[in-house]
Structure 1
Amino acid sequence: MLILYTPAFLAGVASFALFPNEGLRFLLLSSALTIHFFKRDFEVLFIHKYSGMMVLDSVVPISLSYLISTVGMIYAQYLTQGFPEPPIDLKYPGVALFLVGIGGFVGVSFISQALYPFALTLGTTFFLLGRSYATRNWYRSKFEDFPKDVKAMIPFVF
């Protein structure tokens, strides 16, 4: 699991050296991404216990997707330097969402206010909704006593 998160964490760390003095929004975005993947690495090392290993066929694409997404968000933010700030500034609500831990990548999207992080967050949300729904159905098929009224994502709704 450490292999999944470390390249993205290192990309976040490297962004501070590669793009110094790019402004507050850039600093907040790079910091949020670096903290997110540091937290994941920390959890792997000191909190979670794993029962088995992941196959390399899964590790490589997942690790690359995290790395490419992180680099893409940082680079997209770099490309916005010099453009006017958005008329509605969402960076501070984004920091609050990120720090509270509710909608981590929604917070990153708000901090960035660039198209790529918003698209990534939207795509990830729909992927996880589908995965949650499929997982709930799997539990229902494997466990006869699994409650029928449990929702996949949003309590009492879906």
Structure 2
Amino acid sequence: MPGTPWDIHRQIANNENESHRQPWKPMRDLELEKTLRQWAEDMVKRYTWLTIRFEYNEKRRAYLISYSPESKADEDERFVIESSAFEDRINEQYDGLKAPLFCYEERLFKLSPTAEVIRHHKPEKGLLRIATRKKQPQGIAMAAIIHR
């Protein structure tokens, strides 16, 4: 009798492979993904130095979340407390198989180049003011060109 949930999943996959069916594969949890994205967006608003990258990893069958830069995170006690509290809540809410994995600067795992990147966006100075021009009637514009 298998002892861990991983053993059970492995046994299910092996049994299904033997019977020529598709192996059992957990689906992405879109509600969890929405929660992670909203939390990440809120965090980068409060901690403008923060960049969060995340994605669902099929091989690990889990969401992977990476914070950077680690040097800034270590200096910000409020960030450490807030992010740790969120990680604890998520780990309590989701069992070991579905719980996301968190780390700094991809130390524990590598994210793919297509991982979602969430960071603080400062408005560009040139885009703060948008000037609009009234369109001149075509005849007046042509007269202005000819008159020069």
TM range, smaller chain: under 0.3
TM-score, normalised to structure 1's length? 0.23
Q: Quick check: which one's strand share is greater? A: 2
Which structure has the bigger radius of gyration? 2
TM-score scaled by length of structure 2? 0.25
Structure number having the greater helix percentage:
1
